[in-house]
Amino acid sequence: MEEKDALLNKIERLRDELNQLVLEKNKIDHQEIIKKSRELDRLITEYTAKYSSK
C-alpha cells in the first residue's frame, strides 16, 4: 500500500509540474515539457499495470 501511495504521489506531483510548465511554456525549453510528459505517461502506465486489477 505504501508503494501504491508513493507512486500516486509521484504522478500527482509530476502532473502539477507539467501543468505549471505548460502555463510557463514561453519561458522554458519545450524539451522539458516533453520529458515530463513522457515521465508522467510512464508512471501512469506503471501504476495501471500494478494496481488496476487489485
Query: What is the model's pLDDT at position 27?
Result: 65
Query: What is the domain partition of the chain in residue ranges?
Result: 2-51
Query: What is the model's pLDDT at position 7?
Result: 86
Global model pTM greater than 0.75: no
Residues 1-54 have pLDDT tens digits of 788 888 888 888 888 888 787 777 666 667 877 888 898 899 889 888 988 875
Query: What is the model's pLDDT at position 26?
Result: 67
> Which DSSP state fits 38?
H
User: Phi and psi dihedrals of 14, rounded to 5?
Assistant: -65, -40
> For the chain, how many residues are written?
54
CA 40, 20, 17, 28 torsion-angle sign: positive
Q: Which of 50, 47, 49, 39 is nearest to 7 (CA)?
A: 47
